[in-house]
Amino acid sequence: MLLLVMPMHAQQNIEGVITFNRKQNYISIMSKLPHITQEDVDRMSLTWGKMGDGANYELYLQNNKSVYLRKEEQSENGYSWKKDQFVLIRDYDSKSQEDLIETLGKVYHIKEDLPKTKWKILNEIKEIEGYLCMKAETKNVIKGQTIHAWFTDAIPMSGGPEGYGGLPGMILEIDINNQDAVITATKVLLNQEEIKVPYPKKIKGKKIDRLSYNEMVKKYIDETIEGKKNPYWRVRY
Amino acid sequence: MPSRISQSILFLFFCLSGFAQKNSFNVTGVVTDTLGEPLIASTILLLEKQDSTMVEFTKSELSGEFIFRNIAPGNYLVKTTYIGYIPTTVDASAHDGKNINLGNIEMSELAEELMTVVIKAAKAPIKMRGDTIEYDATTFQVPEGSTVEDLLKRLPGIEVESDGSILADGKSVNKVTVDGKSFFGSSPQAATKNLPAEGIGKVQVFDTKSEQEEITGATSESTEKTMNLELKEEFKKGAFGKVIASVGTINRKELKGNFNKFNKKIQFSLVGVGNNTGRNGLSWDDYQDFMGAQAWNWGNNTDYGFGGGGFRTFSFGGSSSGIESSIRSVFFNRGGTQGFPENYNGGLNFNYDHNDNKLSAVYYYNQAGVAKDGSSSRERFFQNFTTKEDAINIGDDISYSHRAEVELSKEIDSLHFVKFSFNGAQINENKFSQEFTTLSEDGELRSTADVTNDINTQGVLGEGLLLLRKKFKKKGRSLGLNTSILYTELDEDWSQESSTTFVNEASSLDSLSLISQTNNNIRDKVQFKANALYVEPLSKKFFWQTFYNHSNRQETGDRVVNDMFQNELQLNEDLSRIYDNSIILNRVGSSIRYSHNGVNLSVGLAYQNFDLVGDFQGAEGSSVLGSVDKQFTNWVPNFSLNFEPFSNSYAGINFSRNAQEPRIEDLQPVVNNLNPQYIIVGNSALTPEISNDYEANLSKSYPLSGTRFNFRISYSSYDNQFSTNEEVDQFLVTTVQPINVDGGTNFEVNSGLSFPIVKNKLTTRLRLRVSDDNRVSFVNSVENNTRTISYSPYIRFNITPLDDIGIYLTANLNFRDTRYDINVSQNQKIRNESYSVEFSAKTIWDLLFSANLNYDRYNNDRFDLQRDIPVLDLSVSKPFLKKNRMEARLSLFDVFNQNVGFTSIDNFRSENRILGQYLLFSLTYNIRGVKSSAQKKGWH
């Protein structure tokens, strides 16, 4: 018996929450930095070889809009670290988006039109949380990354985690640079009950356009690598 | 803004031109299954043929029909997808503006087997390449020890015949490659029957191309297939290691080697070191290589307390010495510079980590020897006189130890964790010392002592720990329980020969004391501990934490002292002791904690009780007999607040009260006459020392500019602080007894700032430490307050103008101002300065030159002391062989031959001979290749 979810009608208002788990493979990320030797990689794999549990994110869908943010979780070991603000709002009706990103010591607020991502469609399919997904590929020029997205046309909404979208269906997995970071859907709850979308109470941050923001991040990455350090402790990979 | 507008106009123009473009065309078609039934709401993608870039997408109608309108001329593909069907791609290129009707696009269903076995059960992605399908073999579970053949039998679409020949999609596989390379000649079975399945990542099956097809690129329907087995990444990893051997002048030698082999489950490592240079060469990296996944120990603190959660505490290295030291401490031992060392140590480590089971076992042998040869002098100030002690000392210490540590842990399920560990150690230590001391009062000789001590100690240790951690279904609720037992046995044989002369005020010999003693001391210790911690969440942000600590330490000792009298041993009844004592600690505490969004606040209180019980008696027939029986109870409050006031900043305010029980040997009136001019006796009236510790800290970093700043202030005040009462007799023999005093305080400020002057080229770091310490002690029953104010500024420049040059300049100063309230005229100001210049440059032929100059200067105006110690080390190295696997290095240590072990603290100075100038030639062989750099490695 096949337990795959059948497609919804495009006209249907999709309302629900998709939970994503984001895992990063620091060793693989660092092994690509020019100052890291094979010996460093071996040493890191020996000591830190096991990947952690990652972080959980939620993508809220309602009225053809989506909000992607870190899942609020109760700390289990009793110590709470402050999480950097990271909220990505997408409005597919007005074709606009708004990002609140805390990085490099400040909260930045970027408001712009939905960008057009150039996707290549690949010949691979797999199942994620009961949804049959196809594979697509794009590039992140700023960070020099190859992005693979697994999307499903069974959820006819062009969104996804980490701000990615523009495919003929919801993205349920993003794979950055061949498993350096993987963001996978772990729970899909759609059209089951009314949800309350946690829009930020106030949008407070330094207004910046995407171009200047990218330039700033790129400069930090380049300078940090030149200084023989890993930029991705501070900048999201 | 104008650019935005022009962009929009440009965009509009392209859109319009797109619509208006000549030769644009429509693509239509119908999506059906193989029986011709329409597939409704299937997704249809229009892709650029060149690289599959998506141009547009649409959905099919109820009739299965779809349409793409107004497509610019070009080469396209139309791709249809439908759930449960294999995506299908057809060509849809046009240049002449003619509309294309693709007709029926038939989609075939995914084979049930592929769907259920590959997609659903194994969750493996499947890849379509023309009509071949490929999937990831790692997701197929096979029993451990299975061969590739066993794995293949489980893969859909593949059949393995009884003779081992393989069929893929009904076609025979005539060639098996591993990572694209032919394996064991041409027989495919050789690979599949011999290779372990757990090493295989992907299985790819494709048509075997003939030689001709390879060249022409022409394809034909092939009847034979090739199977490629892709190895998993971790199975490609092998081993790393290196050996460094050095020989030098003045008979200096060094040998060091390490070797590691590891994969995802198992880590195995060896390390060995031998040298007589004192540079044991075991660095942080060596430690990490040796311990592997065990290098960083999380949750090793088993004495639960107020700390956040009590579990995730972090520790490394070892602090205790002697028998209770740990293997880790060998790697962090930076001693041995005060003499002529000779060290041999080495060990092996094994870590296993698989399916939530962990085992680690480590063995280490350590032989450390040091020969000392030096002198010291000490001035002491009393109300109406000054004394000076001059000593010449010779020492020869050696110790041999074997240690083994085994740890086993299991994550039973997501809620339960259990750990068991066992440590064993055996130690054999010999300490030999000879000291000749003169004591004078205001320049007049009062006493001389010639003392030889030879102490031989043998000991064993056994320690076991069992720990359980439980989480509950209710998030945030947790329980920790652990119990441990430690047993040590020390057998000490000590012989002392001393002759002490006492000179009276008329400068004539008053008396002579000759001691020839043997001392056998057997000490046993058993310490039992049990700890519990329970955390209950009161809400999402509030937690209630309760802990209990129990410790029971039992010590027994039998010390037999014999005097050699007229060549015969006679029992010394006054110094011999049999003792038996115990310290029981019970502590129970509770705290309320608030943890949310980077703010952590904890307020708690604990109640603790020490019960000290001891009996002692002299040797048979002696009148010495006594007992200690004391109970102490204390309330210990605790407050801690940690938060992040701004982005990338941390701040904390902490208060704690800590009680330290007296050491049992300080409580017993046992006499220690190791130094006949400085006799130590116990004090049964001692009570625990209470310290009230206040601390506040703030740090902030600015990632964009690279600036960092930190500040910390701390203050401690003591009640019943441990101190000493010294009674000095007319011959300046000091009898010292531990006592409790009030009024001691300690204040300290630490601050630091680092910032780049030129990014990545010139960075500076500044630090300042200021401390003000007040200590109370008694001398001949007079209270003596000593106040020491110390300032330590530090500045460093890292200069890295080019990749191949590294220059590091450091100045580290220490000003100490010590004031004695009983004798103000003896107040003194000390200035110790340390400067260093480190220079490295990589030049032609990969030659690396290094020069390190360390210049220490000691000043004390009170004693007219000025001492300069410049030490310059030079070295040149060059890597060679393929992959730079070898490196030759020539080093000259202490070019000026001025090195000496010098100490100057307040009224005490000592000087020890240490290794001076020598030349050393080293050869390194590194499997991974030597990568020398002119610049220091920072944090990655």
CA distance B369 to B250: 18
Q: Which of A70, A86, A126 to mutate to test the interface with B (most CBs of B within 10 A)?
A: A126
Q: Return the pLDDT at B396.
A: 93
Calculate what percentage of chain A has a pLDDT beyond 90: 51
pLDDT (tens digit, 9 = 90+) per residue, B749-781?
Answer: 999 999 999 988 999 999 999 999 999 999 888
Average pLDDT over residues B307-327: 54
**B429 contacts B442 by C-beta, under 8 angstroms:** no
Asked whether residue B461 carries a pLDDT value surpassing 90, the answer given is: yes
Backbone phi, psi, residue B628, to 5°: -120, 130
Residue A148 or B218, more confident: A148
Q: Return the pLDDT at B333.
A: 65
Asked whether residue B364 carries a pLDDT value surpassing 60, the answer given is: yes
Lookup: tokens for B525: 């210790």
**B491 contacts B522 by C-beta, under 8 angstroms:** yes
CA distance B487 to B554: 10
Q: Return the pLDDT at B596.
A: 86
Within 8 A of B469 by CB-CB distance, chain A residues are none
E strand residue ranges, B686-804: 689-702, 707-719, 721-728, 734-741, 745-758, 762-779, 782-799
Residue A141 or A119, more confident: A119
The string of DSSP codes covering B24-38 is -EEEEEEEEETTS-B
Question: Which of A7, A38, A228 is nearest residue B83 as measured by Cβ atoms?
Answer: A7
Q: Which residues contact B220 (CB under 8 A, 6 or more apart)?
A: B213
Within 8 A of A33 by CB-CB distance, chain B residues are 940
A201 interface with B at CB cutoff 8 Å: no
**B837 contacts B853 by C-beta, under 8 angstroms:** yes
Within 8 A of A50 by CB-CB distance, chain B residues are 293, 353
pLDDT (tens digit, 9 = 90+) per residue, B720-733?
Answer: 999 999 998 888 88
Tell me the pairing of strands B171-178 and B224-231: parallel
Q: Which of residues 36-75 of A touch B (CB under 8 A)?
A: 36-40, 42-43, 45-47, 49-50, 74-75
- What pairs with residue B522 in β-bridges? B491, B558
CATH number assigned to the domain comprising residue A184: 2.50.20
Q: Return the pLDDT at B79.
A: 92
Tell the burial category of B330 from Cβ atoms under 10 Å away from its Cβ (0-12, 13-18, 19+): buried
DSSP tag of A12: S
A139 interface with B at CB cutoff 8 Å: no
Q: Name which of A146-155, A156-165, B14-23, B388-397 the model is least confident about.
A: B14-23
Query: Would A9 be classed as within a structural domain?
Result: no
A98 interface with B at CB cutoff 8 Å: no
Asked if A47's CB is within 8 angstroms of B296's CB, the reply is yes
Q: Which of A30, A112, A123, A226 to mutate to test the interface with B (most CBs of B within 10 A)?
A: A123
Q: Please report which confidence band the pLDDT of residue B216 belongs to, taking 50, 70 and 90 as the band edges.
A: very low
Q: Name which of B376-390, B701-715, B824-838 the model is least confident about.
A: B376-390
Residue B915 or B198, more confident: B915
Q: Please report which confidence band the pLDDT of residue B385 belongs to, taking 50, 70 and 90 as the band edges.
A: confident
- What pairs with residue B853 in β-bridges? B837, B872
Q: Return the pLDDT at B301.
A: 65
Average pLDDT over residues B805-810: 94
Q: Return the pLDDT at B717.
A: 96
From residue A33, alpha-carbon distances to A222, A229, B546 in Å are: 11, 8, 46
Dihedral, CA atoms, B569, B571, B574, B579, nearest 10 degrees? 120
Which residue segment(s) compose the domain that A91 sits in?
Answer: 16-72+81-233
The amino acid that residue B245 corresponds to is A
3-class state of residue B844 by DSSP: helix
Average pLDDT over residues B244-272: 90
**B571 contacts B562 by C-beta, under 8 angstroms:** yes
pLDDT (tens digit, 9 = 90+) per residue, A9-24?
Answer: 555 678 999 999 999 9
Asked whether residue B789 carries a pLDDT value surpassing 90, the answer given is: yes
Q: Return the pLDDT at A1.
A: 34
- Looking at the complex, report in whole angstroms how far the Cα of residue A125 sits from the nearest Cα belonging to chain B: 6
**B641 contacts B671 by C-beta, under 8 angstroms:** no
Residue A22 or B172, more confident: A22
pLDDT (tens digit, 9 = 90+) per residue, B432-459?
Answer: 999 999 999 888 888 999 999 999 999 9
pLDDT (tens digit, 9 = 90+) per residue, B575-591?
Answer: 888 888 888 999 999 99
Q: Return the pLDDT at B840.
A: 94
**A100 contacts A87 by C-beta, under 8 angstroms:** yes
B762: left (phi over 0), alpha (psi -120 to 50) or beta: beta
Query: Would A6 be classed as within a structural domain?
Result: no
Asked whether residue B20 carries a pLDDT value surpassing 50, the answer given is: no
Calculate what percentage of chain B has a pLDDT beyond 90: 42
Within 8 A of B295 by CB-CB distance, chain A residues are 46-47
Asked if B292's CB is within 8 angstroms of A46's CB, the reply is yes
Asked whether residue A180 carries a pLDDT value surpassing 60, the answer given is: yes
Average pLDDT over residues B315-341: 66
Query: Would A129 be classed as within a structural domain?
Result: yes
Within 8 A of B311 by CB-CB distance, chain A residues are 77
A129 interface with B at CB cutoff 8 Å: no
Q: Roughly what angle, to the nearest 10 degrees, separates helices B284-291 and A38-48?
A: 50
From B78, B114, B106, B91, select the one nearest A168 (Cα to Cα).
Answer: B78
Within 8 A of B759 by CB-CB distance, chain A residues are 223, 227
Asked if B57's CB is within 8 angstroms of A78's CB, the reply is no
Q: Return the pLDDT at A12.
A: 63
Asked if B703's CB is within 8 angstroms of A105's CB, the reply is yes
- Scan for tokens 């017993």, then name that residue: B668
Q: Which residues contact B141 (CB under 8 A, 6 or more apart)?
A: none
Average pLDDT over residues A163-170: 94
Question: Which of B84, B127, B471 is nearest residue A4 as measured by Cβ atoms?
Answer: B84
A192 interface with B at CB cutoff 8 Å: no
pLDDT (tens digit, 9 = 90+) per residue, B55-111?
Answer: 999 999 989 999 999 999 999 999 998 888 888 889 998 888 889 999 999 888 877
From B634, B627, B625, select the one nearest B613 (Cα to Cα).
Answer: B627
- Looking at the complex, report in whole angstroms how far the Cα of residue A194 sits from the nearest Cα belonging to chain B: 23
Query: Would A215 be classed as within a structural domain?
Result: yes
The chain-wide mean pLDDT, for chain B, equals 84
* Neighbouring C-beta atoms of residue B70, cutoff 10 Å: 12
* Neighbouring C-beta atoms of residue B539, cutoff 10 Å: 10
The count of domains in chain A is 1
Asked if A227's CB is within 8 angstroms of B704's CB, the reply is no
- Scan for tokens 């949380």, then name that residue: A129
pLDDT (tens digit, 9 = 90+) per residue, B674-688?
Answer: 788 888 888 888 888
Q: CATH assignment of B112-235, given 2.30.30, 2.170.130, 2.40.128, 3.30.1490? A: 2.170.130
- Looking at the complex, report in whole angstroms how far the Cα of residue B911 sits from the nearest Cα belonging to chain A: 40
Q: Return the pLDDT at B84.
A: 82
Q: Return the pLDDT at B182.
A: 63
A220 interface with B at CB cutoff 8 Å: yes
Q: How do the domains of chain B map onto residue ranges? A: 2-107, 112-235, 246-282+291-296+305-385+403-444+456-569, 800-940
A199 interface with B at CB cutoff 8 Å: no
Tell me the pairing of strands B649-660 and B297-298: unpaired
Q: Return the pLDDT at B209.
A: 58
* Neighbouring C-beta atoms of residue B391, cutoff 10 Å: 19
Lookup: tokens for B456: 């031989």
Within 8 A of A43 by CB-CB distance, chain B residues are 285, 288-289
**B681 contacts B700 by C-beta, under 8 angstroms:** no
Calculate what percentage of chain B has a pLDDT beyond 70: 90
Asked whether residue B2 carries a pLDDT value surpassing 70, the answer given is: no
Radius of gyration for chain A, computed over Cα atoms and rounded to the nearest angstrom: 18
CA distance B58 to B155: 35
Q: Return the pLDDT at A2.
A: 42
CA distance B523 to B544: 42
Q: Return the pLDDT at B841.
A: 94
Lookup: tokens for B322: 């002697």
- What pairs with residue A149 in β-bridges? A136, A174
Within 8 A of B296 by CB-CB distance, chain A residues are 47
Q: Return the pLDDT at B214.
A: 44
Minimum Cα–Cα distance from B480: chain A residue: A77
Q: Please report which confidence band the pLDDT of residue B13 belongs to, taking 50, 70 and 90 as the band edges.
A: very low
Q: Which of A25, A28, A79 to mutate to test the interface with B (most CBs of B within 10 A)?
A: A79
Average pLDDT over residues B351-369: 89
Lookup: tokens for B940: 């990655």
Question: Which of A33, A126, A134 is nearest residue B81 as measured by Cβ atoms?
Answer: A134
pLDDT (tens digit, 9 = 90+) per residue, B184-195?
Answer: 455 667 667 767
Asked whether residue B30 carries a pLDDT value surpassing 60, the answer given is: yes
Asked if B127's CB is within 8 angstroms of A76's CB, the reply is no
Chains A and B: how many Cβ contacts under 8 Å? Answer: 177
pLDDT (tens digit, 9 = 90+) per residue, B843-880?
Answer: 988 899 999 999 999 998 877 888 999 999 999 999 99
Indicate the fold that domain B2-107 takes in CATH.
Immunoglobulin-like (2.60.40)
Asked whether residue B744 carries a pLDDT value surpassing 90, the answer given is: yes
Question: Which of B288, B704, B928 is nearest residue A38 as measured by Cβ atoms?
Answer: B928
Asked whether residue B227 carries a pLDDT value surpassing 60, the answer given is: yes
Q: Which of B15, B43, B51 to mutate to test the interface with A (most CBs of A within 10 A)?
A: B43
Asked whether residue B658 carries a pLDDT value surpassing 60, the answer given is: yes
Within 8 A of A74 by CB-CB distance, chain B residues are 475-476, 537, 540
**A98 contacts A111 by C-beta, under 8 angstroms:** yes
Identify the helix (H) or strand (E) that includes residue B396. strand B386-413
Radius of gyration for chain B, computed over Cα atoms and rounded to the nearest angstrom: 39
Q: Return the pLDDT at B217.
A: 41
pLDDT (tens digit, 9 = 90+) per residue, B36-67?
Answer: 899 988 999 999 988 889 999 999 998 999 99
